[in-house]
Structure 1
């Protein structure tokens, strides 16, 4: 019995030793694999000749760290300043910040550079919308949506824009007598979302009516953060396990809000609308090559976010910048009030003639672009095996893109890039000599090429109308202590802070 026990103990010891050795061997293999991958990425990878920090070339960990911190775009800008107009920001990704790169990567091409499959996250239902669609689907959907964003449609939609602009003014008039500061970001967001909700779904979110964020509007920032976390999980192959890495408050927000959007679209189609909203134009030309119900749902959902968040962001940035620069504020207010004898005279046509306002908006979009991130593409496979970008050969399969924030803030593109100088966007002799050589084409706030922002005309029109009406009717004063308002994190969208202002009637 003693001998048998000794034998059993010996076998067990051997088993334990084997498992330990096996675990150590597996761990050693893992370490060896990671080490060899790091060595390959730094010394032998096809992108090894491109400048950038070795740590970023070795692994995507630095990229993910700054993405998680909400400071990726700021860090990429510093890398461009250090290394030039092209930087290797991950083992297989190059970041650009030049005018030429915009044209090569995003311009009209026979062999389109497709969106990076990891960045191109699927919609909550899996149906393709115009933001993520493949080339064929995108072309079909853009043809259908183009009617809703045409110049003639914009004129027909002006009553909707005027209605919500007037409602914003009325709501603020009730607050002006209280002499308490208001959060201008919140009220601009209320107006933008109510307006775009009406134009997308034919339904009012009632943010202006309640003076509060509707559940859908509240969820926008959370949904953007969820997308950023999903992207990082996809890079590491951890998307099926994302619930272990993504904060619980972020999980499932997109699916939940998508269900609400589908219900809203269903009501709009069933009940019709007295206004020519986006769905009116989509449905009026929705023939056999039209959109499926699933495509209509995801496009209405996405357009309501893209069309409102970006406008609210730009207007918030514009107000901060002019209030932080009194001479600009005075000149802009003077232009608006001289051009209009009464508030009712402010129209889309009249605001389109405000030259200085246009310069202020363009400078705002440069300093504080609503879409500040990179929209990555992949160099296509072709006979040549790659593409020449900014004079350098880039092999097929490489992820490339122009970083909006870096392009707009690069000293290689703009003189004194961190200064707010609307005059740089004027024409002729009105441009100060120091800014004549600015590379204005490097700033593309609505992106570039066949996939540029379809709603840019409506966005500009909404910004001009709301901006002009507010500046005509009220005098604004930013409260002290907000000088660093633009020091914000980015997770998909800018994580905007409140902008507290006092205001009074200009009459």
Structure 2
């Protein structure tokens, strides 16, 4: 065969393969749009045909904004991918995440996986989750919280001392300082070890890598969906690859030091180890749980605190009412305790409204419908479909909350929440710590930490946000918020 004839046949072969692939893609899209079991659910046709639009916005860190737009346009139930429905309503919380005889398992494609493969409480199957939660519940009980107050007070004091020292030099990046405090505190409570962020005024390497780890995980989930994990290094930014494996090793070393050396503090590991009988956790499970709790507990609290500072300073009337409540309830800083701040109704409302407008967990936590199917709003969703409540869309939907984009803590106060204009708010749809048997174990500690730190900061300093930061909350979201610096001028209160 001469060369021109060979080339002609080769080109014909490539054309045939390209034609087959094109026909498959078109047929797949047509099936998804017009024949798929979810075809009757509202949503844009392009999103129903392929997960490409979903992945595009996820890659850009803009998926939360786009899903909110879709929910406002199409309703509280939207088809956002060929096999996925997104919900923005309260009933879906109970149906998807509530107590059920047959649990809706986490979606196997978008399910989180630990770097070592061991199960932690965030990713575990039902049996393992029940066993681990039994052990961890002791560490998050009310009595444990009271025993851990000295640790909270210690790092609150360190934060105030550092801010008092540095505030004389000019505006401070409160995103950074609140992150330092949260990670130091949770590191002590998790491992009995101080990361040293507050002492040095800088991120420890482990802390600095948290955002990169979240982004790496987000990219890995997309590559897993498309079946291209083996070549993910060609699509994932180089700075993200391997961050989770690197940092789990650091956490494992820290856990082992804590076990070998012991601790005088009743940290999380104290409760895990003291109850670790034959039905307890393996060393690998202890490592991944300590690693995950230190990240989840610190990053989410730092995010909420940063958001609260931005919002209260952006709404002067809220700020004035807050400082009046905190300062009139305490004569001295030493009086500010977990018990005293628990009585501050307006501060608690500010925290709740912050969690609505700027939820630390703003994404969907996807679940898989059991094979028998599930009824949603009178319609059967077939088994093996992906469903979930999208936090950000639910909390910002105008059908769920009055003036959903405004910071209005009054909507949570006992004296005003049941009267107009807030009486029609769908408060049940807001579940910032998730819902059901897998809800956040640390929600009481998180709220207590936020109340204590904010109360002490408001008592100690007069605040002013620097100009040019009006759009601070317009951030990318890749697992965690990609937080920007938040510059504030602090001035110690003269008494």
**What is the alpha-carbon distance in structure 2 between the residues aligned to residue 392 and residue 416 of structure 1?**
30
**What is the alpha-carbon distance in structure 1 between the residues aligned to residue 68 and residue 296 of structure 2?**
24
Residue 475 of structure 2: aligned partner: 488
Residue 245 of structure 1: aligned partner: 235
Return the match for 1:23 from 14, 22, 36. 14
Return the match for 1:403 from 385, 390, 415. 390
Return the match for 1:421 from 404, 408, 412. 408
Tell me the alpha carbon deviations over residues 256-292 of structure 1, each in whole angstroms, 9 at most, x when there is no partner: 0011110000000000011000000000000000000
Residue 67 of structure 2: aligned partner: 76
Query: Superposition pairs for residues 97-108 of structure 1, below 5 Å?
Result: 97-108=88-99
Instruction: Work out the number of aligned pairs and report it.
Output: 494
CA-atom RMSD in angstroms: 0.9
**What is the alpha-carbon distance in structure 1 between the residues aligned to residue 264 and residue 163 of structure 2?**
27
Please tell me whether residue 256 in structure 1 is matched to residue 246 in structure 2.
yes
1:389 Cα shift?
A: 1.5
Where in structure 2 are there 5+ consecutive unaligned residues? none
Where in structure 1 are there 5+ consecutive unaligned residues? 1-7
Please tell me whether residue 182 in structure 1 is matched to residue 172 in structure 2.
yes
- Asked whether the 8 Å contact 1:113–1:378 carries over to 2, the reply is yes
Task: Give the structure with higher Rg (CA).
Answer: 1
1:173 Cα shift?
A: 1.1
- Asked whether the 8 Å contact 2:410–2:416 carries over to 1, the reply is no
1:391 Cα shift?
A: 2.7
- Asked whether the 8 Å contact 1:404–1:445 carries over to 2, the reply is yes
- Asked whether the 8 Å contact 1:485–1:499 carries over to 2, the reply is yes
SS of residue in 2 equivalent to 1:308: helix
Please tell me whether residue 475 in structure 1 is matched to residue 462 in structure 2.
yes
Q: Which runs of 4+ in 1 moved over 6 A?
A: none
- Asked whether the 8 Å contact 1:86–1:94 carries over to 2, the reply is yes
**What is the alpha-carbon distance in structure 1 between the residues aligned to residue 211 and residue 55 of structure 2?**
19
Residue 312 of structure 2: aligned partner: 322
- Asked whether the 8 Å contact 2:395–2:404 carries over to 1, the reply is yes
SS of residue in 2 equivalent to 1:446: coil
**What is the alpha-carbon distance in structure 2 between the residues aligned to residue 506 and residue 193 of structure 1?**
27
* Counterparts in 2 of 1:254 and 1:430: CA distance versus 1, 3 Å: closer
1:18 Cα shift?
A: 2.6
Tell me the alpha carbon deviations over residues 203-257 of structure 1, each in whole angstroms, 9 at most, x when there is no partner: 1000000000000000000001101110110110011111111011100000000
Return the match for 1:134 from 101, 125, 148. 125
1:436 Cα shift?
A: 1.2
**What is the alpha-carbon distance in structure 2 between the residues aligned to residue 390 and residue 244 of structure 1?**
43
Please tell me whether residue 274 in structure 1 is matched to residue 261 in structure 2.
no
1:430 Cα shift?
A: 6.2
**What is the alpha-carbon distance in structure 2 between the residues aligned to residue 284 and residue 391 of structure 1?**
48
Query: Superposition pairs for residues 246-395 of structure 1, below 5 Å?
Result: 246-381=236-371, 385-395=372-382
Residue 109 of structure 1: aligned partner: 100
- Asked whether the 8 Å contact 2:121–2:289 carries over to 1, the reply is yes
SS of residue in 2 equivalent to 1:434: coil
